[in-house]
Chain A
Amino acid sequence: MRKPLSLLVASTALSAAIGLPVWSASPSLMEPAPSGPGLIVPGLRASGGTPAQAMPRSETVAGLLVLASGDDDEGDDDEEDEDDDDDDDDCHDDDDDCGGRRANPAPAGTVAPPANGLFGTGAPPQVKVN
């Protein structure tokens, strides 16, 4: 009986030794907001013309992470391709079939040239690159 009791005491002491510092270091969502004004978002104004008090400090710094955009794709784009400064989210330079973009034109030889009045009805275009 003494042996299980001593094991229980030892494990409780160990848990407390490890757990208490972690517990005290982690921010609590139940912690009340500081009495200060919190963060003011520039440009946001309440209807009365006073700057809107956007978010209490506890929500922005210590507690909840508030994302301005739910899209975390942008950073990846930049890391993969520093040259890609397009605003699109899912289209990469090598994609040919991005939605929303104009289709690529039909290559020469696959369709007739456009009827813009510049071309005759004779031989199709011939191209050579030296």
Chain B
Amino acid sequence: MKSLLASLALTTALTVPGLALARPVTLTTTLNAYGGDGAYLALYVTDATGAYVGSLWMAGGKSKYYEHLSDWYRATGGDPAQINGITGASVGAGRTLEITLDLADALFDAGYTLHVDAAVEEMRDSPNEVAVPLTSAGAGTAVRGRRYVASFSYAM
């Protein structure tokens, strides 16, 4: 009985920190009424040195258009394995994309930056449309994009 309790305590002690290592984070992107087709958006993270770490979301399912998300494409070579399971539809002009992801705590206050690349058919590509440092203090603060994104924010 004692060994069972000890095992239970041990597994609980090992599991609880693991649960606390990630939290749901909501990323909200609102597009301008730019008057074009749906926008492809790539949301990805770079580290303090600017090196690509990984992707968080891809709005737009056809890989043949990914080259227009030029910064993301340069970093990944357009590899679909980078965005398997985190790809959804493109986002129409004036619409709001709201994604809730279970993100690692280690992403925040550690020098990481979240980037958004945007592209719209027959309109100018917009790499690095948004770049925001991932910090606890920055949560809930809306930032404006360069061309297509009216506002972007993340909430924890």
Contacts and interface: CB of A to CB of B under 8 A. Distances in A.
Interface of A: 83, 91, 96, 98, 101-114, 116-130
Nearest to B66: A102
A118 B45 contact: yes
Contacts of A122: 19, 22, 24, 102
A107 B63 contact: no
Given A114-B54, A129-B95, A107 B87 contact: yes
B104 A119 contact: yes
A108 B88 CA distance: 6
Contacts of A121: 18, 22, 102
Nearest to B21: A120
Interface stretch (B1-9, B78-86, B125-133, B142-150): B78-86
Contacts of A123: 24, 100, 102
Contacts, number: 124
Q: Name the prevailing secondary structure of the A interface residues.
A: loop
A112 B82 CA distance: 11
A119 B22 CA distance: 7
B132 to A, nearest CB: 15
Contacts of A112: 85
B15 to A, nearest CB: 11
B63 A119 contact: no
Given A103-B80, A107-B85, A125-B100, 13 more contacts: A83-B122, A102-B66, A107-B61, A111-B85, A113-B85, A113-B101, A114-B84, A117-B104, A119-B22, A119-B102, A120-B22, A122-B24, A125-B99
A107 B90 CA distance: 12
Contacts of B24: 122-123
B120 interface: no
Contacts of B107: 118
Given A112-B85, A114-B86, A129 B103 contact: no
A114 B63 contact: no
A127 B85 contact: no
B22 A129 contact: no
Contacts of A129: 89, 91-92, 95-98
Given A113-B86, A114-B82, A125 B57 contact: yes
A123 B25 CA distance: 11
B121 to A, nearest CB: 8
A118 B82 CA distance: 12
B85 A110 contact: yes
B64 A98 contact: yes
A119 B87 CA distance: 14
A101 B79 CA distance: 11
B37 to A, nearest CB: 11
